[in-house]
Amino acid sequence: MPKTGRKSERLTAYLEEQIVCGRFPGGSRIPSLRDLQRQFHLSYGTVLSGIDALCRRGLLRKHPRSGIFVATSAAPARNGNPVVAVFTIRSDTVGLYPTVLCGIREEAARRQVELQLCQLPPGCLDRELLERLSEGCAGVILLCELDASAGMLPRHRPCVGVMMDNSDLGRISTVDIDPFVAAQHAAAFFRRHNLKTVRAVMVPTGTYRRRFEIFAAAWRHAGGRCEPLDFPELREAARNNPELWQQAFPRGGGGWFASDNLLFDCAQAFRTATGRTLEKECVVLGLDGKRLLHPDFPVFPTISVDWRIVGARALEECHARIMEPGRLPERIYLPGELLEPPWGKGENQ
């Protein structure tokens, strides 16, 4: 038999969603235990267990002989200001994520929001951990690619994900570079270089998969041919056959990369295997502009956005949902621009 906690998860998830979307506002009474028992086909004890769990988390309050009510302390505050937890799994001091965090901090200061930074342990996330780390916070910002863990996020607090595609069925707001505008820039870039076939390097998960799908559609619409390359598979296969790097990126060919990190990793592996420089052998294009923010990145064309503005927009969205219970989550795209180094048109042609 499943444990009572597992049986009540559907009930608690439903109540959390109704509270977040404003259908059960602070101070309102929720349906009775008997009504919930009938609605979810659960035993009285299982419904009571689920309600007790939400009471312990501060979402509900029991009033004897009156019923069960949504807690009125809607936005936890510190020094009178709402508190937002910022989750990250990285400890970089330079690069994209610190730049996003600068934007978050600047906007938080402007809106008088307190920040609580939380470094997450990679590879061992669970709902209980995320709930514990965000306890006492009015909202959550995810400063990391947590598409696979979106369903574990607290549903009774507004959540905003940076560089995420998975909105957990519309429960999470997302902020990222616009993949549609980026795809149009990329198609124009490769057309200008008179290319017909482009190798598209991606990781088949989350936002990187979505970027690839949108670019592939745009490139095919432009009359080009897109050949996908799964980076983890290529790297594993090339361990025993380094010549695969040369085959993957023939001289004069085109290479589109779902992120600057992927281009950086491929360029390093290509140089190790062939002794040559990928960005001089092929027409390559990255996406997200990390190379502009990190001194160790090689110089190559990329499509970038101002990541400080991305951070500010994420905090703005989180704050708006805290202040307006019931406000629907948004998928927010910021348009990027194509940036080419001075040698981009010369040596690659």
Per-residue pLDDT band at 150 (split at 50, 70, 90): low
Per-residue pLDDT band at 47 (split at 50, 70, 90): very high
- Integer CA distances (angstroms), 215 to 201, 225, 291, in order: 11, 11, 20
Q: Which of 8-12, 163-167, 330-334 has the lowest mean pLDDT?
A: 8-12
Report the distance separating Cα 174 and Cα 324, nearest Å: 17
Question: Domain residues of the chain, as ranges?
Answer: 4-70, 77-176+308-334, 179-304
Which architecture does CATH list for 77-176+308-334? 3-Layer(aba) Sandwich (3.40)
Pick the CATH number of 179-304 from 3.40.50.300, 3.30.479.30, 3.10.20.30, 3.40.50.2300: 3.40.50.2300
Q: Evaluate if residue 146 carries a pLDDT over 90.
A: no
Tens digits of per-residue pLDDT, 59-102?
Answer: 788 888 788 988 754 455 566 788 999 988 777 767 888 889 99
Per-residue pLDDT band at 170 (split at 50, 70, 90): confident
Predicted local distance difference test score (pLDDT) of residue 16: 78
Q: Do the bridges between strand 254-257 and strand 197-202 make them parallel or antiparallel, or are there none, so unpaired?
A: parallel
Q: Evaluate if residue 260 carries a pLDDT over 70.
A: yes
User: What is the arithmetic mean of pLDDT over 303-308?
Assistant: 94
Pick the CATH number of 4-70 from 1.10.10.10, 3.90.199.10, 3.40.980.10, 2.40.50.140: 1.10.10.10
Per-residue pLDDT band at 349 (split at 50, 70, 90): very low
Per-residue pLDDT band at 20 (split at 50, 70, 90): low
Report the distance separating Cα 227 and Cα 320, nearest Å: 42
Same fold, 4-70 and 179-304: no
Tens digits of per-residue pLDDT, 187-238?
Answer: 999 999 999 999 999 998 889 999 999 999 999 999 999 999 999 999 999 9
Predicted local distance difference test score (pLDDT) of residue 129: 78
Q: What percent of the chain has pLDDT over 70?
A: 87
Tens digits of per-residue pLDDT, 326-341?
Answer: 889 999 999 999 998 7
Per-residue pLDDT band at 21 (split at 50, 70, 90): low
Of 181 and 117, more confident: 181
Q: Evaluate if residue 147 carries a pLDDT over 70.
A: no
Q: Evaluate if residue 297 carries a pLDDT over 90.
A: no
Q: Over the chain, what is the mean pLDDT?
A: 85
Predicted local distance difference test score (pLDDT) of residue 77: 56
